[in-house]
Amino acid sequence: MTQIDHPIRIAPSLLNCDWGRLAEQIQLVEAAGADLLHLDVMDGHFVPNISFGVPLVAAMRKCTRLMLDTHLMISEPVRYAPAFVEAGADSITFHIETTTEPLAAVREIRKLGVRVGVSLNPGTPAEAIDAVIQHVDLVLVMTVWPGFGGQSYIAECTEKIEVISSLLKPHQWLEVDGGIGIDTIGRAVAAGADTLVAGSAIFGNPDPAAALRELRDAAMAAVRGVNHS
Ligand code: DX5
Ligand code: ZN
């Protein structure tokens, strides 16, 4: 990594927010400077947890103008993508592990007029996305095994962030998801991440707005560290 001159984006994950005050929680992080909202959709099949679906996305759409960055941890992403886009999703990320036809999946989702992302589990090598890496708007590198918030960052994934960062073009985002907090955001940014998902580090904090700001400060400190090293 030579210089970091791209913006750093913070994407609060709503998985562990206070669902009873969803609108308030969204407005709180939006006011605190969230760059986009990360929506963790889980089907209990691709991942061992069920979170929420289309109706909640439609409800969130009414609460904010922020980009709804929709992380589909589901087995049939292309089948359900249209319904999520109809509900207001601005970006659809599918898992490379869910399909043997990733380029067809990218094309189908692209036809919906939204941004397209591809995600890799911690055990999936960077090469797994070779067929689509030039065709997506973002790559989402999982630094936890998907399914739950509050897990610890898997340090072995940092090298994959570096590898993928070296392959992306300036317009493509490198999003990192899982275990991002004050102690881990710096290494993800230094490895090349420009979009950082944080769930429990924000909503698990009694002051989510302050937590978000502190995360951004830590990310910018890492940028300065890289640029002055
Ligand atoms: C995990 C989700 C992540 C998770 C992030 O399956 O994809 O977005 O909610 O939560 P934290 O930041 O608590 O690891
Ligand atoms: Zn996610």
- Predicted model pTM: 0.98
pLDDT at 5: 82
Ligand nearest to the backbone CA of 185: 1
Place of tokens 């907090």: 181
Find, among 100, 93, 101, the residue nearest to 74 by Cα: 93
pLDDT tens, position by position, 13-22: 999 999 999 9
Dist. CA 11 → ligand 2 center (Å): 10
Please give the Cα distance from 197 to 202 (Å, whole number): 10
pLDDT at 181: 98
Please give the Cα distance from 221 to 99 (Å, whole number): 38
- E-strand ranges in the chain read 9-12, 36-42, 67-73, 91-95, 115-120, 138-142, 173-177, 195-198
Q: Which of 35, 69, 177, 194 is catalytic?
A: 177
pLDDT tens, position by position, 49-100: 999 999 999 999 999 999 999 999 999 999 999 999 999 999 999 999 999 9
Mean pLDDT throughout 129-148? 98
pLDDT at 1: 57
Query: What domains does the chain contain, in order, with CATH numbers?
Result: 9-227 (3.20.20.70)
Q: At what angle do helices 102-110 and 77-87 cross, to 10 degrees?
A: 20
Active site residue 177: yes
Q: 202 and 12 in contact (C-beta within 8 Å)?
A: yes
pLDDT tens, position by position, 163-210: 999 999 999 999 999 999 999 999 999 999 999 999 999 999 999 999
